[in-house]
Each structure stands twice: as C-alpha cells, then as structure tokens.
Structure 1
Amino acid sequence: MEIVDQLDLSEAVNAYASTGSRPYHPAMLVVSLLYGYATGVFFSRKLAQARHDSIDFRYICANTHPDHRTIADFRKRFLDELAGLFTQVLLIAQAKLGTVSLGGTKVKASASKRKALSWEHANRLEEQLKGEV
C-alpha cells in the first residue's frame, strides 16, 4: 500500500469535478486494482465481492465498498493511466529489490519435462506479458 504514495496519481485526482458527491479516492481504487491483479482477482464483480469477504481487501480499501460499476468505470476511464502506474510499480519494486540471486546448486527434481519452460519460450512469454502491460 505504501507504494501508491510514490505513484503519480495527479491525472486521476484532477479528473474528478469538485462538485457533487465525494468520489472514492483514486489511490484506494488503484491499490485495490493492483492488489487484485497480483492475487488473481481481475473482474469488477469479484473485486467488489472481495471487499466484503476478504480481510486483506477490506484493509487495503479502508473498509469502503465501491460497487462493481464504480470499479469498472474507473478502470475503463483510466485504462491508459493504469498501465503506466503498473509500470511505475514494477520499476519501484525493481529499485527496492535490486538483483535477486539464488545459489547454483543442482537438485534432482521430479518435474515434468513437458511442463518445464525453455529459455526461448520464457523469453517469448516475457515479451507477450510486456505487450499486455
């Protein structure tokens, strides 16, 4: 959640009118969307339900419960900005974590050779994921 404080949310914050009822803060919607993506909850209705059922979502959303329409509208309205924010999150995480390395010890495993990724296939998947972001 603290990572959202480092993101540039000015476009989303400035896009709301100063009149009318108070909207949900964009930071809360962004952090809940990012957390949902990280935990495999992608759909607006599932995200809205998770805010009622899941302690972690309730904590992230400060126990507020925007409905699925609010979530879907926010995602649709700020889709390009969300892609940029997600990239910012990855860059911040990379800067904080730096290089992560593991030992080179080889251990015999019972993994299926058909399900293991080749280096080339892993690179293709990486390019595909970058294209989706």
Structure 2
Amino acid sequence: MYQNYTTGQTALTLNLDFTIPNNHLANTISCFVDSIPEDVLLGDTAKTGRPAYHPAMMLKILLFAYSRRVFSGRKIELMLEENLPMMVLAEHQKISYHTINNFRSSDHANELVKKSFLYFTNLLEAEGLINEGAIFIDGTKIEADANRYTFVWRKAAEKFHEKLKGQAVELYDELIAKEVVKAMAQEKVQTSQG
C-alpha cells in the first residue's frame, strides 16, 4: 500500500508562479521515471503501518539529487525544503533523511536504479539520440597521444561492447560504494552521537 501520488492532479496553491521550465532536468527525470512500467516500480510492500512514499517519487528525488552530485540524505532533505525542482518532484511533501536512506538502502531501490539505467538506454535509443551501432563511428580510435591513430575493426569493437557494459555497471557500483554508502555511514554516526 502506498500513499496517493498523482503528479497530474490539480491542487489549490497560493502562488502559481512557482514553476520550472519544460526543458528543465527535473521534468526530463520525471518523464523518464513515469515511462518505467508500474510492475518494475512497485515492489512488495508491508500491509500494515503507515503507507510508504511512492517509489516513483523517491526514484525521481534520488536521480535529481545524484545529477546534482548530492549523495547525503540530509543534504537531499535540505534540497527538498529549498530547491524548487525537488519540491515539484516530491509534490511539496516533507521527507526525512532517514526515510530517504531507508529507501535507497533497500534491495528494491538498488534494483530499481540499476534497471532505470537499462530503461534510460532504451529511451535514448527510442528517441533516436543513440543507437546500438553508436560505438562504431568511423573505425578510428583516438589514443591518449593525439598524434597517434589506430584502426579498430568493427568485430573487435563488438567483442568489447559487452565488457564496456560490465564496466559501466562496475562504475555505478563504485559510485554507490564511494559516495552514497559513505554519506549514509556518516549520517548514521551523526545520528547515534546525537
């Protein structure tokens, strides 16, 4: 069971001037997360207790914060209070850093972020922004020494394409280990100290 989360629902607000441009990154992230199928977004939830925040909203918040190089739960909470695009993504809900950290440390959230990488790649391919053959530009590989060019056969590039995808996943895991887990551990120490 989740709390009601409808982004298209009209609401009575005091000031209607607080909007963000259509081409803002927050709108792009929102459209992207909304394109992810519901069965992927929704995980197993507890039948008792307070309804959880919707995973789509939480994913939008995390992706936008990560795009701004903010990994600390407390700083994400501060962004929710001060940053207009974050307020729009969260529909002005107040979410504590503890809830944010609990969500992103869950297995469901980790799988969700990894799957969102695949959906993002598929979305870029569907929009025509990239295609599967994009790594085969002209057969030329420019090395660190700019005066040296070497020819790369398409077959060799295809062979290493899967390795490149694996390295992207490793890079993501390293980012999580270095930034997110480190920030969450620091917050846990601060919380336990008072």
Q: TM-score, normalised by structure 2?
A: 0.50
Corresponding position of 1:117? none
What SS is found at the alignment partner of 2:45? coil
Point out where structure 2 has 5 or more consecutive residues left out of the alignment.
1-29, 131-163, 173-194
**Structure with bigger RCO (C-alpha 8 Å, 6+ apart):** 1
Instruction: State the identity %.
Output: 23
- Tell me, in whole angstroms, the C-alpha distance in 2 between the residues paired with 1:71 and 1:9: 20
| 2:51 maps to amino acid | R
Structure 2 CA distance for partners of 1:27 and 1:93, relative to 1, 3 Å: same
1:83 equivalent to 2:114? Answer yes
Mapped contact 1:52–1:65 kept (Cα < 8 A): yes
**Greater radius of gyration (CA):** 2
User: Residue 63 of structure 1 aligns with which residue?
Assistant: 92
**Deviant stretches of 4+, over 4 Å:** 125-130
Gap change, CA 1:91 and 1:42, over 3 Å in 2: farther
Letter in 1 for 2:33: V
Residue of structure 2 aligned with 1:93, choices 118, 124, 128: 124
Q: CA deviation at 1:65?
A: 1.7
**Per-residue deviation, 1:43:** 1.8
Change (3 A) 1:73 1:26: same
- AA in 1 matched with 2:95: P
- 1:30 partnered with 2:30: no
Q: Does 1:20 align with 2:49?
A: yes
Per-residue CA deviations over 1:70-108 (Å, capped at 9, x if unaligned) read 111111113133211233123313432524xxxxxxxxx
> Which residue number corresponds to residue 76 of structure 2?
47
**TM-score when normalising by structure 1:** 0.69
CA spacing shift, 1:86–1:56, aligned 2, 3 Å:
same
Q: Distance in 1 between matches of 2:169 and 2:60?
A: 20
Structure 1 portions without partners, runs of 5+:
100-124
RMSD: 3.1
1:23 CA drift (Å) = 1.1
Aligned to 2:171: 132
- 1:129 to partner: Cα distance: 4.2
Aligned to 1:102: none
